[in-house]
Amino acid sequence: MLFADLVEFTSRSERLDPEDVHAFLEPYYICLRDEIRAFGGEVEKYVGDAVVGVFGAPTAHGDDPERAVRAALRIRDSLAEMNAADSSLDLQVRIAVNTGEAIVTAKKWAGEAMVTGDSVNTAARLQVAAPNNSVLVGEETYRATRFVIDYQAVDSIIAKGKRAPVPAWLAISAVRPPGERAAERVHLVGRREELAALSERFDHALARRHAHLATVFGLPGVGKSRLATEFASTVAGRGGRVIRGRSLPYGESGAYSAFAQQVKQVADILDSDSAHLALEKLQRATGALLGAEEAEEVTPYLAILLGIDSTGDASDRLTLFLAARRLVEALAIQQPTVLVFEDVQWADPTLLDLLQHLASRIRESPVMMLALARPEFAAERPNWGAGLPAYTALPLEPLDAPESCELARRLLARSAGVAAPETVSRLAETGEGNPLFIEELVASLAERSAATAQGLPTSIHGIVAGRLDALPAAERSVLLDASIVGKVFWVSVLAQLGDRGDRLGELLDRLEGRDLIRREPVSRINGHDQFRFKHILIREVAYGTLPRAKRRTGHGIVARFLEATGLERDSLAVLAHHWQEAGDQERAVECLLAAAEQAGRGWAKQEAVGYYKEALRLLPPGDTERRRRIRLQCAVAEQMAYHVPDAVSLTRGQSKAAPSA
C-alpha cells in the first residue's frame, strides 16, 4: 500500500478558486498515477488530495514492496522537479508505504477496487507521521527492501488504534538498480577435504589425459550440488569448462536426459526450439568441434540421443555410445572438461551404461565425469564403477558440530546480523549437520517478526511450519493445496483446487523463488506443467496445517484428476489414498483391491497382502460376504508370500528344508 497526501491542502484550497485548485491538483494526480503505474501498481482511490496505490493486487510481481518504495521515491523527486519548474505550485507531500495482507474486493459498479485490512490502516497512520517530502515505510516493507534501498532508522510511531508503537524507517534512496541484489551465497563451510579430493581427480585426468569418473554420495540437502558448484569454480579458474545435467525422478524425459541437457548447452539448443532449428544448431556445433566430414557421420546419432530426430535409427546401442564418445573427446581436446550428472539415483540404466562406457573408453582426452547420488544408489547399482581404470567414490557426510555452528553463524550474519551464541548453537543442533535444514532454520527465523522470533522451535518440523505461516496468504494457499496432491503436483490440478485466476503462475514462481518448490523440466502428464516440493518435509508440514474439511474436498478433486488423466493406472494405491481421505470408502476399497491384484500379478505378494488388509479395514462391518471373500484372497496372498523365498531358492538351484509344524 502506498499512501500520499499533500501537506496543508485544506487551508490552501480555502483561499483559492476551485479552478485554481484543480489547476495544481491535476498535474499532481497525473504525476502520482503515472509513477505508480510505471512501477506496476494501480491507483486504488483518489480522495481529495490523497492518493492510494496498491502493489501486488490483482497481480503479484514478487518484488512489490520494492516497486512501491521506488515509486514513492520517484513521486517525491518528481514533485520536487515540478516545484522547481513552477514555484507557484509549492507541492509538499507526505508518503508512506506498508506491506501486509489485505482483502482486495472489486467494486464493479464503481470501476475500482476496495482494499481493507490492518496493513491498510497502518499505512494511513504512517503517512500522517511522515515528515514533509519524505517516504516512511513499515517493518515488513523495510525487511523486504533493505538490501536495495538506503534507510534511516526513526523512532517507532505512536499510531491511533494500534496497541503497540509501529516500527518505521525513512527511505532515503535506491542503492541498486531494479532486479539487482546484494545478498550472495555464504562461503562454503567445511568440505575442504572433499573439494581437495575432487581437485586431485581433475589433476589426474589432466595428467593422464583420460576419463575419470567420480561419484559423490550423500543424503538430500547435505550439499552435493553446492560441492559441485564450488568444484566447478575451481575448474573454471584453471581454464577448464563444466557442463551440468540432471536426471529426473521419472523416465519421461528420455533415457539420456542428463547427457542430452549437456549436449544442448554445447550446441546452444533451447527447449523452445523446433526440431528443425535444434538439428541445425547441433550440426553447427559438431561441425565446429569435429570438422564437417566427421560431424556429418556423428550428428544423426546425437540427434537420436537428444530426442530431436524421431525418424532416425541406429543399428545398435554401441553406435550411439560411440557418437557420444567422439563428441566428449572433441570437447575435452578443445578444453579440459568436467561433465556433472546430478541425481543419478533417478537416471535411466542406459544413461548409467553410457557413463561407464565413456569412463572406460575415452583416452587422450582430459575429461572428468562427476556423478551426484543419494546413498541408496550404491545398493541399486552395486557394481557401479567396477572395472574402470579411474574411479572414485566420495561420501559426503553431514557437517560436524563446529562446522554447523559456523554455517548458522554466517547465514544469520547475512540475514539478521550478529546472533546470540545460544541461537547459533540451537540452529546448528536442530539442523543436525544438514546444510539444507540449517538454511531452512535461518530463513524461518529471519522471516518472522521480532515478536514471534522469541523462542526458537526445537524441531525442523516446527521451523518449516513457522516459515510457511510467514508466507503471504496467496502463496501459502497454493502451497497448502499442492500438499494435498503429494510431493509432485501439477498446475492444472491446482487450478481446480482453488480459484486464483491469472495469479497462479506468479504465485508458483514466487514459491520457487523462496526455494520451497521446483519446476520439473518434463511432466509425467502430457500438457500439464509439473512441480515438486523442494523437500518432503515442506510438503508434510504444509499438509498438516490444512483443516480437515479442506483436505476432504481437495482429495476428491485430486482423485478425479488422476482418473481423468489416466495416471491412476500406475498409481492405484495412491488413488485409493485420495479416495479414502475424500471420505469415499467404497471407491478406496475398489482401488485397493485392484492394487492388490496388480501387485500379485507382479509377484509383489507382501504388498498385495498389505492392500487386502487395508481394504478389510475400510469395509463396513455389515458387509459380511465381501469381507469373507477379501479375507480368502488375503490368505492366499499371504501363503504365496510365505513361499516366495522357496521359489527364489529353487531358481538358484538351492534347497530349503521344510519348516517344522
State whether 164 and 313 are in the same domain: no
Which CATH number belongs to the domain containing residue 641 in this structure?
1.20.58
pLDDT tier at 252 (50, 70, 90 boundaries)? Answer: very low
Instruction: Give the whole-number percent of the chain exceeding pLDDT 70.
Output: 82
What is the rounded distance in angstroms from the CA atom of residue 170 to the CA atom of residue 32? 20
Total tally of structural domains belonging to the chain:
4
State whether 221 and 332 are in the same domain: yes
Q: Which domain holds residue 596?
A: 577-661
Is residue 480 a part of any domain in this protein? Answer: no
The whole-number pLDDT of residue 147 equals 73
Which of the two residues, 450 and 386, has the higher pLDDT score?
386
Is residue 563 a part of any domain in this protein? Answer: no
Question: What tens digit of pLDDT does each residue of 365-407 get?
Answer: 899 999 999 877 887 888 898 888 899 999 998 899 899 898 8
Instruction: Give the end of a domain, one of 366, 395, 424.
Output: 395
Is residue 106 a part of any domain in this protein? Answer: yes
Question: What tens digit of pLDDT does each residue of 37-54 get?
Answer: 888 888 888 877 789 998
Strands 517-519 and 391-395: unpaired
State whether 371 and 234 are in the same domain: yes
Mean pLDDT value across residues 616-620: 86
State whether 390 and 427 are in the same domain: no
State whether 166 and 210 are in the same domain: no
Is residue 150 a part of any domain in this protein? Answer: yes
To the question of pTM greater than 0.85 for the whole model, the response is no
The whole-number pLDDT of residue 104 equals 65
What is the rounded distance in angstroms from the CA atom of residue 82 to the CA atom of residue 34? 14
State whether 324 and 442 are in the same domain: no
HSE-CB of 550 using CA atoms within 13 angstroms: 16
State whether 378 and 410 are in the same domain: no
322 C-beta neighbours (distance < 10 Å), count: 17
State whether 409 and 270 are in the same domain: no
State whether 448 and 313 are in the same domain: no
Question: What tens digit of pLDDT does each residue of 511-560 get?
Answer: 988 778 889 888 877 778 899 987 766 787 788 778 788 889 999 999 99
What is the rounded distance in angstroms from the CA atom of residue 94 to the CA atom of residue 134? 6
pLDDT tier at 644 (50, 70, 90 boundaries)? Answer: low
316 C-beta neighbours (distance < 10 Å), count: 8
Which CATH number belongs to the domain containing residue 265 in this structure?
3.40.50.300
Which CATH number belongs to the domain containing residue 114 in this structure?
3.30.70.1230
State whether 240 and 118 are in the same domain: no
Is residue 537 a part of any domain in this protein? Answer: no
State whether 391 and 405 are in the same domain: no
The whole-number pLDDT of residue 417 equals 65
Is residue 516 a part of any domain in this protein? Answer: no
DSSP 525-589: STT--EEEESSHHHHHHHHHTS-HHHHHHHHHHHHHHHHHHTGGGG-HHHHHHHHHHTT-HHHHH
What is the rounded distance in angstroms from the CA atom of residue 144 to the CA atom of residue 410? 20
CB-count exposure of residue 11 (10 Å: 0-12, 13-18, 19+): exposed
Is residue 342 a part of any domain in this protein? Answer: yes
pLDDT tier at 16 (50, 70, 90 boundaries)? Answer: low
Question: What tens digit of pLDDT does each residue of 192-240 get?
Answer: 999 999 999 999 888 888 899 999 998 777 889 889 989 999 999 888 9
pLDDT tier at 103 (50, 70, 90 boundaries)? Answer: low
Is residue 344 a part of any domain in this protein? Answer: yes
The whole-number pLDDT of residue 212 equals 93
The whole-number pLDDT of residue 525 equals 79
State whether 420 and 383 are in the same domain: no
- Residue 50 parent element (H or E): strand 50-54
